[in-house]
Structure 1
């Protein structure tokens, strides 16, 4: 892959992209994880923090519309919403798409990751806002009167999800949190050469959690969603949609990694499963 020099940028450009990143970038992407972990609901303890802004109150009060669909059409509609989110999430991570933006539109490489996150977040909010709930609860172990106050229930769900995903957070830390959320790229020298990666490291990591599966972050997210005291049909179907999406997205993502790391990554793929871990005697993989 031939690297391309990033267009020059001044300090005002960097400030502009930093503001966009902080307002609409990587950190707001956590909202989707919070929404799903709280059984497809926005935590009610958010709302007292938004009392000064009626607009934010209306945005965070999901869902925005009830289309009065039948159960079958609700499921079909939600599949389309997830498909839109998945398409944007994968399509704009492609090297050729990123190369097109940089070479044809002279798009500043410092804002590439931020732009990608904004597009992904936009479709995530569309999915959350338009999601048509089935109102079917598969199990709810927090229906006891002691948890009747909704914010208490949401705090428990979010806490449990966070604990399960602590190892996944360590994966992000290994890849640099600021780089993962697109902040580090904003302050990189404009003269540096870009290899079109929106995130990641230049070194292939095969130890730690990566010894047991190639995508441990996906693993912990799925486990965190499934091992929950409250799971509605909507959340269960979201998990099914996510698993189906990973079957498509992971091969696309790994084509880029094969180009970057070459035979080393191909050998790594042959030894280590994608998401479901395989626990065997630890040997050096690469």
Structure 2
């Protein structure tokens, strides 16, 4: 009975994850949603920036704090260990949905590409970024990432890190995909720039914390992998013994 409840809870979190992911694609593209990155309730520019940064900040703080091992230990005092990941996914998705729902557009346009085929190519690149992000989760363990494996396994064993496929090109293909999706747009408004810049800053800071955790937990194999593989930009550099790990 307990296992059934855990699986039901994890499935609910996963359904919300898929729904919010679809919402994210539509929101950033500003199509098919009531509130998009460039349309919705209008307020003064200063107020819009303050609201949007507060929303993004709340998500970033939650996402960072809840990912720390100490926070996970605290959470398991209140929920079963098998539900810890699903709870993280569920709460993160609710906060991200709040960002999309309460977002306030910011005026101004940095660029607007209307000529074809360039506009179509930018939209293609946008969708490719989301596809890259989603595909990278399956190369590690998609079910583990969203909490379904923890809820369903009687003897859960965390997946090891992988160096295959996309991970042979960059260490963080999921983050690379998100960055491409956030910046590849034919129309860069002030609000879109705010979203993309804030998200980029958070991703870069988050990668540093994640890298530190991975080096502590995996040790020498990860350090060696990091020396050979760039973090985000799939550009090979000549390996130099004792050189600092390539951060980008």
**What is the TM-score of this pair, normalised by structure 2?**
0.79
Q: Which residue of 2 aligns with 1:126?
A: 98
Superposed structure 1 runs of 4+ greater than 4 Å apart: 155-160
CA RMSD after TM alignment: 3.2
1:110 to 2:82 alignment:
yes
Which structure 2 residues correspond to residues 1-286 of structure 1 after superposition, within 5 A? 10-24=2-16, 26-38=17-29, 41=30, 43-44=31-32, 61-62=34-35, 66=41, 68-69=43-44, 71-102=45-76, 104-105=77-78, 107-142=79-114, 160-189=125-154, 192=155, 201-202=159-160, 204-280=161-237
8 Å CA contact 1:29–1:117 kept in 2: the answer is no
Structure 1: gaps spanning 5 or more residues? 1-8, 45-59, 145-152, 196-200
2:102 and 2:130 mapped to 1: Cα distance?
27
Q: SS of the residue aligned with 2:110?
A: strand
2:113 and 2:42 mapped to 1: Cα distance?
29
Deviations 1:71-90 (A, max 9, x none): 23322332221111111111
Cα deviation for residue 171 of structure 1 reads 1.5
1:18 and 1:74 mapped to 2: Cα distance?
35
Cα deviation for residue 97 of structure 1 reads 0.8
**What is the TM-score of this pair, normalised by structure 1?**
0.70
Deviations 1:182-206 (A, max 9, x none): 22222111xx3676xxxxx32x323
Higher relative contact order (CA 8 A, sep 6+): 1
8 Å CA contact 2:48–2:104 kept in 1: the answer is yes
8 Å CA contact 1:214–1:275 kept in 2: the answer is yes
Larger radius of gyration: 1
1:159 and 1:171 mapped to 2: Cα distance?
18
The verdict on how the C-alpha distance between 1:193 and 1:222 changes in structure 2, with shifts beyond 3 A counting, is: closer
2:114 and 2:97 mapped to 1: Cα distance?
27
Q: What is the aligned residue count?
A: 236
Cα deviation for residue 157 of structure 1 reads 7.8
Q: SS of the residue aligned with 2:111?
A: strand
2:129 and 2:82 mapped to 1: Cα distance?
33
1:241 and 1:141 mapped to 2: Cα distance?
23
